[in-house]
Amino acid sequence: MRSMFGFLSDPLRRAAAVVCVIALAACATTTPDADRRPRSVIVDGIDIAMMAHVLNTGFTEIKERALNEPDMGGLFMRSLEGLSTIDPEVGVGVKDSELQLTYGNVPLSPVALPTHGDIESWVKTTLTAVLTLRQISMPMKTANAEALYKAIFPPALKALDPYSRYAGRDEALRSRLIRDGIIGLGIRVVAAKDGVSVQSIVKNGPAENAGLKLDDLITHVDGVALVNRPIEEVRQFLEGKADTVVQVTIRRPQTRDTFSVAIRRDLVIPDTVAANTVDGVLEIRIRSFNQRTAQSVEKAVLNARDTGPIKGIVLDLRSDPGGLLDQAVDLADLFLDSGTIIALRGRHPGAQQFYGAHGGDIAEGIPITVVIDGRAASASEIVAVALQDNQRAAVVGTVSLGKGSVQTVIRLPNQGEIILTWSRAYTPRGALLHGLGVLPDVCLSGESATLSDTVGRIFRGDGLPTALMNGWRSPPAEAQGLEELRAACPPEAHPERALDLEVARRLVQDPALYVQARQGGARQLAEKPQ
């Protein structure tokens, strides 16, 4: 090895010398509190104790919660292979029941393979490989801990299913803001020459209410200059406890004015709901599901009813990627007096869940249409099928995405997240939603038709064969059969197409048309592709 890498001391010997340190670091992290930071053990510029804590926490959660019982040895091998995303010269394989690490096709000393389910041993083996490669590979040596997590976790999660993934600290913070809100000012900032620049502002958030504008330059926070400070440190200055005040110094590029403003920190949750009443029809556009989505929809309905009678409600879920499950359940429950909303089944006991309506339709029977398209997914599909199967709404558009898997969010000690699939959703009629999606009552796939053409088709009862519709009620398990069903009303992206909304409005304004669209055979109508 010295002849191949003579410019370095023997990397394997040095890595072997820290195995005991790694073992101690790993053992020091076996605590039920995943957020408790272990005592630092810095080796080659990396906090090995913290990394062991993060990997142990993440892979233990994967083992316990994944939808299907995972092959942990296989997942760790995928993770080791992921190191090649940092340096393509890295190779990983198995030879004679030993782990064989290579660099530039040159084999390094083999390492005994841990048993498949021994997470702690696999973590120590992973860290040994990382430390070995940091002595040989410059890309590995300069990679920080977050870069290593982004190489290690994604290949393992990708091997489970398409929706399980890893989010690093910054991405996870943004996702938490969208889902749960965050205590702060309601702004997103990026590094600038003399501080940080405001790139986005949450509507009605503390910063907007204090008068901040896009492109404002924040130069100081509580008197501390922000020039040349890491963006992570700046965010820590801006965030803090609720109801505390922060003094922010602003330089406005347009006027070159400099001024200070006191802003009170608060829980900031972006508004994902927009409502508007047109000709007596309340149109509610939902772009994603966060902690306030159901509350915002309820407020929109009650406000509209207070201002005068409304003929109907249109829930526009087109291209809505979903979000929080409980918000989808709460939103559907707003309009249901009884019935099943959704049922979840998974391997972990916590994944076995059933949701039924509690009673009390805030719309008091007002006609509802739900508009979906091929990008409507997850939580939006749960709302659509719950209202459809309970005969509370007519659904208009195209077949939805068919993402009926449910993910649990696991926060890691580095403040990153694992988004892990742990259950499947079953519709009120008992069909597995995943891979199937929601079939609209009025299908608008294919070439755009006119409103009058579509209305005529509804009244004539032109639609798909009964046998095909029965297939939707009792779908086959195999993927090919599901695709054949979905081809009856192909999923398409219609995020802004006017016809879809026109049909939805017409349905709630015409009682006879609405009844026809919601009848058992009405879930057949389609604008067939030419």
213 is catalytic: no
On the CB side of 401, CA atoms within 13 Å amount to 20
Q: How far is CA 52 from CA 13, 71, 88, 156, 396, in A?
A: 21, 20, 24, 16, 50
Give me the phi and psi of 501, to 5 degrees please.
Answer: -70, -35
How far, in Å, CA of 491 to CA of 440, rounded? 10
Are β-strands 111-112 and 195-201 bridged in parallel, bridged antiparallel, or unpaired? Answer: unpaired
Please return the burial class of 138, using the count of CB atoms within 10 Å of its CB with bins 0-12, 13-18 and 19+. exposed
What residues have CB less than 8 Å from 233, skipping those under 6 apart?
none
Nearest Cα neighbor of 445 from 373, 375, 382 is: 373
Determine contact, residues 351/423, Cβ cutoff 8 Å: yes
Determine contact, residues 263/210, Cβ cutoff 8 Å: yes
193 is catalytic: no
HEC sequence for 350-393: HHCEEEECCCCCCCCCCCEEEEECCCCCCHHHHHHHHHHHCCCC
For residue 350, how many other CB atoms are within 10 A of its CB?
12
Residue of 288, 403, 441, 500 marked catalytic:
403
What residues have CB less than 8 Å from 322, skipping those under 6 apart?
288, 289, 328, 377, 378, 379, 380, 381, 403
SS3 content of the chain, % helix, strand, coil (to 5): 35, 25, 40
Residue of 47, 87, 389, 510 marked catalytic:
389
Query: Widest CA span of the chain, in angstroms?
Result: 86
Nearest Cα neighbor of 478 from 436, 529, 524, 520 is: 436
Angle at 136 between CA 135 and CA 140, to 5 degrees: 80
Residue of 79, 296, 319, 378 marked catalytic:
378
Q: How far is CA 71 from CA 115, 116, 119, in A?
A: 11, 7, 11
Residue 311's SS3 state is coil
Paired tokens of 200:
């986005």
How far, in Å, CA of 286 to CA of 44, rounded? 48
How far, in Å, CA of 507 to CA of 281, rounded? 11
Nearest Cα neighbor of 332 from 304, 299, 355 is: 355
How far, in Å, CA of 420 to CA of 31, rounded? 22
Q: Which residues are known catalytic residues?
A: 378, 389, 403
